[in-house]
Amino acid sequence: MTSGFKNMIIAVIILPTLLSVSLYAQQQQPVRLNPDDLLLYRDEAGKVSKVQTPSDWQKRRKEIIHGMEKVMGPFPGEDQRVALDVKILEEVKLDKYTRQLITYQSSPGSRTPAYLCIPHSAKDGKKVPAVLCLHPTDNKVGHQVALGLGGREGRQYAAELAERGYVTIAPAYPHLANYWPNLGKLGFVSGTMKAIWDNSRAIDLLESLDYVDLSRGVGAIGHSLGGHNAIYTAVFDPRVSAIVSSCGFDSYRDYYNAAERVWYFGKGWCQIRYMPRMSDYRGKLDEIPFDFPELLGALAPRPVYVNAPLHDSNFRWKSVDQCAESAQPVYELLGAKDKLVIDHPDCDHNFPLEQRNRAYQLFDSVLKD
Q: Using one digit for the tens of pLDDT, what is the confidence trace for 183-195?
A: 999 999 999 999 9
Q: Point out the domain boundary residue: 70, 87, 108.
A: 70
Looking at the structure, do residues 45 and 153 belong to the same domain, yes or no? no
Strand order in the sheet with 97-107: 87-93, 97-107, 110-119, 167-171, 130-134, 218-223, 240-246, 304-307, 340-343
Q: How many domains does the structure of the chain reveal?
A: 2
Looking at the structure, do residues 144 and 59 belong to the same domain, yes or no? no
Specify if 63 maps to a domain.
yes
pLDDT at 13 exceeding the cut of 60: no
The DSSP-derived string for 8-35 is HHHHHHHHHHHHHHHHHHHHHSPPPPPT
3-state secondary structure of 288: coil
Looking at the structure, do residues 262 and 222 belong to the same domain, yes or no? yes
- 44: containing domain: 40-70
Per DSSP, 164 falls in state T
Looking at the structure, do residues 240 and 264 belong to the same domain, yes or no? yes
Looking at the structure, do residues 88 and 55 belong to the same domain, yes or no? no
Question: What is the predicted pLDDT for the residue at 217?
Answer: 98
From its phi and psi, is residue 335 left (phi > 0), alpha (psi between -120 and 50) or beta? left
Q: What is the pLDDT of residues 300-347, one digit of tens each?
A: 999 999 999 999 999 999 999 999 999 999 999 999 999 999 999 999
289-310 exposure pattern, b = at least 16 Cβ within 10 A, e = fewer: bbbbbbbbbbbbbbbbbbbbbe
| CATH assignment of the domain containing 296 | 3.40.50.1820
Looking at the structure, do residues 117 and 52 belong to the same domain, yes or no? no
Number of H helices, E strands in the chain: 9, 11
d(CA 51, CA 60): 8
Looking at the structure, do residues 105 and 193 belong to the same domain, yes or no? yes
Looking at the structure, do residues 326 and 213 belong to the same domain, yes or no? yes
Specify if 27 maps to a domain.
no
User: Which residues touch 271 (CB under 8 Å, ≥6 apart)?
Assistant: 191
- What pTM does this model have? 0.91
Specify if 310 maps to a domain.
yes
Q: Which residue has the higher pLDDT, 92 or 28?
A: 92
pLDDT at 297 exceeding the cut of 90: yes
Looking at the structure, do residues 181 and 117 belong to the same domain, yes or no? yes
Positive or negative: CA dihedral 80, 138, 232, 369:
positive
pLDDT band at 103 (very low <50, low <70, confident <90, very high): very high
Specify if 212 maps to a domain.
yes
Looking at the structure, do residues 213 and 316 belong to the same domain, yes or no? yes
Question: What is the predicted pLDDT for the residue at 1?
Answer: 46
Q: Are 115 and 100 in contact (CB under 8 A)?
A: yes
Looking at the structure, do residues 293 and 218 belong to the same domain, yes or no? yes
Q: Rg for the chain (alpha carbons), in Å? A: 22
What residues does 298 pair with on adjacent strands? none
Specify if 319 maps to a domain.
yes
d(CA 128, CA 133): 16
Q: What is the pLDDT of residues 146-163, one digit of tens each?
A: 999 998 999 999 999 999
Mean pLDDT along residues 26-37: 77
Question: What is the predicted pLDDT for the residue at 291?
Answer: 98
Question: What is the predicted pLDDT for the residue at 28?
Answer: 52
pLDDT at 240 exceeding the cut of 90: yes
Residue 95's Cβ-count burial label (10 Å; 0-12, 13-18, 19+) is exposed
Looking at the structure, do residues 346 and 269 belong to the same domain, yes or no? yes
pLDDT at 25 exceeding the cut of 70: no
Specify if 11 maps to a domain.
no
